[in-house]
Amino acid sequence: MRSAVVSTRWAFLTRPDGERDLIDELGPSANAEKLDLAVVTSAVRPRGPDQTLEGLAFARQAMRLVHRISASDVETLAKQAARALNRQLARRPEGWAFQLVTPEGRDARDEAVRTAEALQEPLRARILAQLSRPVRDAQVSASDPGVRWLLQVWVLKKTDTLVGLTPAQDALSCLAGGRAVLERDPEAPSRSGLKLEEAIDWVGIGPQAGDLCADLGAAPGGWSKVAVDRGAKVIAIDPARIKISLPSRRFTHIQESAFDFAPPETLDWLLCDMAWRPLEVAQLIAKWGRRAWAHQLIANFKLPMKRKAEMLRRVLTILKRAGWQGLRARQLYYDRDEVTVFAWLDPTLTQRGAKEPFQFRSRSGERSQPRARRAPRSRPRPSAEEKPGARTKPSKQAKPHARTKPSKQAKPDARTKPSKQAKPDARTKPSKQAKPGAQTKTSKQATFGSRRKLDTKTNRTRDRDS
């Protein structure tokens, strides 16, 4: 039996395949390492801008370690855990809640799961029996707003258990193991709506009655249904078909690419669950921020690459530079290879209004409203023919100065191969009817000058000619 005090370290729960991402996110200074499946430990407490652990995206829940206990049986383990927790709680009789979990990735037949089930009630009873009345009376539910401390027990194996006492604000989640258990709506077209519901519970705010939302990448309609069910009006943008029927007075479907859409007015919420490359989606959302098209954001970024932490940092940097503030990122329980991001826009930007007209563009033209055209100029622009010095592209007919390949009917000055009917001055091969002294090809009817020469010759020549 061994009980080791490790109060200087922190432990984190993550996805079964997310240990590497969490270690990368913690950085080299944290001296982080994988302790077990879905469990990572760190030598130092990571500090965010608000001095909490909210900056961690790939951790489900955090624990400030008090003891790492190994025991040969359940009863001995319960006694050791109760003694350690009672010693810590005696100095802090504030609102506390008890949690006992098994990290993810273990099925019901795993010995850790069976140990946790057997340990649940004995450990709880042992703790309560050994606490003073003020401490016992301070016990609350983990979901109670007055909870200040979490007494956490993580069962890794039958003989290996982590025990910790953690401030609720540093635990990342007051849910056991950071797992949200939500009931799926039987009318929902997919499980994607659970991601939005969990995100709303995580940030504590979401679309409500009277809000106007845009849902980018809406198909098959899971996120739109959640927002409509909460009373909001939704403009769904996706070329694909929405697989559910929603009330038309609070739902509009624009079958267009999200990259070609601009909202009709300033919106309360931008919802985005696009199955697209994360940097391109980040640039799209950044455009919404620069143009002040929405007040608040909940977006889901797909991260199928191996180095998810580095890609997430690049995405958040793009959003921050575009004016989005209060950025929070978390790989929630219903997220797979993806991360949910929440942000809000600087109120000074939204009060100033959008930087571009509020019209959405549509290739089909049926649902879109055309953008306002500019007023015509008082002095019309002259055409290319009217401009005296305008340099225009010459047409195919009659280009006076164009250097083109001459046609068969060459121009007077063109140097081309003479045709059979040559001009009088052309030097060509004389024909069979040509006279002995002629240098050019002549016709049978000689010219006036040549006939005069024939008259002055001998009778023999004249007789032959006649």
| Of the residues 156, 178, 200, the one at which a domain ends | 178
In a domain, 449, yes or no: no
Q: Band of the pLDDT at 51, cuts 50, 70, 90?
A: very low
Helix, strand, or coil (residue 89): helix
pLDDT of residue 11 exceeding 50: yes
Tell me, yes or no, whether 218 and 172 share the same domain: no
Catalytic residue among 158, 195, 233, 302: 302
Tell me, yes or no, whether 246 and 143 share the same domain: no
Whether 62 and 48 have beta carbons less than 8 Å apart is answered as no
pLDDT at 381: 53
* Predicted TM-score of the model (pTM): 0.72
Assess whether 396 carries a catalytic annotation: no
Tell me, yes or no, whether 28 and 76 share the same domain: yes
- The CATH number linked to 157 is 3.30.2130.30
Angle at 31 between CA 11 and CA 18, to 5 degrees: 55
Tell me, yes or no, whether 166 and 258 share the same domain: no
The pLDDT tens digits for 147-162 are 999 999 999 988 888 9
Tell me, yes or no, whether 86 and 109 share the same domain: yes
Total domains in the chain come to: 2
In a domain, 434, yes or no: no
Instruction: State residue 352 phi and psi, 5-degree precision.
Output: -70, -25
pLDDT at 354: 54
* Average pLDDT along the chain: 78
Span 418-440, average pLDDT: 48
Tell me, yes or no, whether 173 and 197 share the same domain: no
Q: Provide CB contacts within 8 A for 233, sequence distance 6+.
A: 211, 212, 213, 250, 251
Helix, strand, or coil (residue 137): helix
| Of the residues 146, 178, 210, the one at which a domain ends | 178
Tell me, yes or no, whether 36 and 108 share the same domain: yes
- Segments forming the whole domain that contains residue 96: 2-178
In a domain, 424, yes or no: no
pLDDT of residue 108 exceeding 80: no
Tell me, yes or no, whether 101 and 60 share the same domain: yes
Span 173-180, average pLDDT: 93
Q: Which residue has the higher pLDDT, 50 or 324?
A: 324
The pLDDT tens digits for 57-101 are 999 999 998 888 876 667 777 777 777 777 777 776 788 999 999
Distance of alpha carbon 309 from alpha carbon 22, whole angstroms:
8
| Of the residues 321, 352, 383, the one at which a domain ends | 352
Tell me, yes or no, whether 203 and 86 share the same domain: no
Span 350-369, average pLDDT: 45
CA dihedral 307, 311, 313, 314 (to 10 degrees): 150
The pLDDT tens digits for 323-332 are 999 999 999 9
